[in-house]
Structure 1
Amino acid sequence: MPCSDDTASRSRHGNDIPVGQDRIFDGLADKFANSLYATARGQIRLAVLDDMLSRALPSDGAPALDVGGGLGQMSVWLAERGHHVTLAEPSADMLAEARAGFGRLPVQTLQAPIQALPELAPGPWPLIVCHAVLEWLAQPREAFSLLNALLAPGGRLSLMVFNRDALRFSNVVKGNLDKALEDRLSGTGRRQRLTPISPLTHADIERWCREEGLVIESVAGIRIFHDYLRERSPSEAQLATIIELEKRYCRVEPHWRLGRYLHYLIRRADGTNLEETS
């Protein structure tokens, strides 16, 4: 695997989190539930993902690994569609909240970081979901290689990452001009601030897929409009319209490129065409 330049990148961008330390969200389960999923931001995120993935992923009961699944929304989504799900999450607080919502659904849980999964949940997995995880890791490039190693030949990865380019644009819109000009975009990982420590770009994911011999089947932006609105608490009618706009344009140039998150469906070669995809 190529050497990672993540440490140098964080040094350039003023990130003061200790090198090698990932962000784990113990003590923040309520904050995630209340400030994200109970708001328009979370509703839009889940609605767009549901619209895309319900058409792209078969409900065939295949085993699925939900990496860093947090409060368990995607594990529930997968289990309700017939998948046998293993949710891996390093935060005890987040995992406890997730378990409370599973009921009788076929979801197993594993308190473990992504780095432990080759030993604890090696698969190989026909389907892996990894949403909003890599940007909280000190070494996201290494974690991406681990995801590839966990995939079965022909397996698919649903990957969502925090978009560094959208973060820059958002800072300009908010008037943080010097911060944007100096490219000081990464968060510090301190207290309850939720700016990711390793936000990523589309170019990062394209390059890593080439290096790993993975094929990008589709790419979309998540929250391509909402986060730039002046009115951040829309009415129910306005929210329905925004969700329709988000669904309609999430894969359309140039809108998807400024989504707060970038979502990828990625396929691992089946073993017969590795040279073509490397």
Structure 2
Amino acid sequence: MRILDVGPGQGTQALRLARAGHEVTGLESDPVMLGAVREALAAEPEGIRERVRLVEGDGRETGAHFTPGSFDIVLCHGVLMYVPEPDPMLAGLARVLAPGGLLSLLVRNADALAMRPGLAGDWDTTLAAFDSPAYTNRIGLEVRADRRETLTATLAGIGAPLHTWYGVRVFTDQALDGREPPAGPELERLLLAEDRAGRTDPYRAVAALLHLCGVRG
């Protein structure tokens, strides 16, 4: 498939998809992150390198880089929290999707924004989270979260209505802070528990992140 990865970070998803045989385009505006992707890509075999194209640019300007219907899948994971007004960007992403294409979003869950500080006993931040989608992330940046209801309406409006959604990091949002992740059977059980909770109500609704999948009409 033809896949656009908006904000690929260090290229983890892009490289895994290329290894699986897909044609991947990474659109990245940060020169530092773009350099990290190029470094990771350089370590891959030639057959994988030739399936990845990197473009320096902003996800809000897809029309300047791609023609309508250019991609079967568009990934926008961990990006919307840095965008003050997401609707124009999402509309641009939908335009470059082919009919039947998948728009995959991973966003911070505004409906559960009080969970992390509440479980940590930070009551001032907890109370503030009920009234505002703004928060300070773990690297100290002022960012914002999204509500599933709002994104559902947006996806319908841009012709890529919500097909399904999942919760991400239901149990483990804080579990690994300062600790090495588990391995072996313990990791398998952790992933099984997270996967089950991320598909099951009411647990998925209070996950730290939401994974929403819209399909282009």
Change (3 A) 1:168 1:238: same
Q: 29, 38, 46: which one pairs with 1:90?
A: 29
- How much has 1:111 moved relative to structure 2? 1.0
Which residue identity does 1:177 align to in structure 2?
W
Matched-pair contact (CA < 8 Å) for 1:179–1:185: no
Counterparts of 2:178 and 2:205 in 1: how far apart (Å)? 21
In structure 1, the partner of 2:108 is 162
Please show how residues 205-220 of structure 1 align to structure 2 within 5 Å: 205-220=151-166
Counterparts of 1:150 and 1:243 in 2: how far apart (Å)? 33
In structure 1, the partner of 2:196 is 248
- How much has 1:64 moved relative to structure 2? 0.9
Counterparts of 1:230 and 1:262 in 2: how far apart (Å)? 19
- How much has 1:65 moved relative to structure 2? 0.7
- How much has 1:177 moved relative to structure 2? 2.0
- How much has 1:188 moved relative to structure 2? 5.7
Instruction: Name the TM-score, length of structure 2 as normaliser.
Output: 0.85
Q: Percent of pairs identical after alignment? A: 28
Which residue identity does 2:195 align to in structure 1?
K
Matched-pair contact (CA < 8 Å) for 1:221–1:262: yes
In structure 2, the partner of 1:136 is 82
Which residue identity does 1:111 align to in structure 2?
E
Counterparts of 2:176 and 2:25 in 1: how far apart (Å)? 39
Structure 2: unaligned runs, 5 residues or longer = none
- How much has 1:184 moved relative to structure 2? 4.8
Query: Is 1:114 matched with 2:59?
Result: yes
Matched-pair contact (CA < 8 Å) for 1:168–1:185: no
Matched-pair contact (CA < 8 Å) for 1:217–1:266: yes
The count of aligned residue pairs is: 206
In structure 2, the partner of 1:76 is 15
Please show how residues 27-66 of structure 1 align to structure 2 within 5 Å: 62-66=1-5
Q: CA RMSD in A?
A: 2.2
Find the residue that maps to 1:243 and give its secondary structure.
helix
Instruction: Name the TM-score, length of structure 1 as normaliser.
Output: 0.68
Higher strand share: 2
Which residue identity does 1:186 align to in structure 2?
A
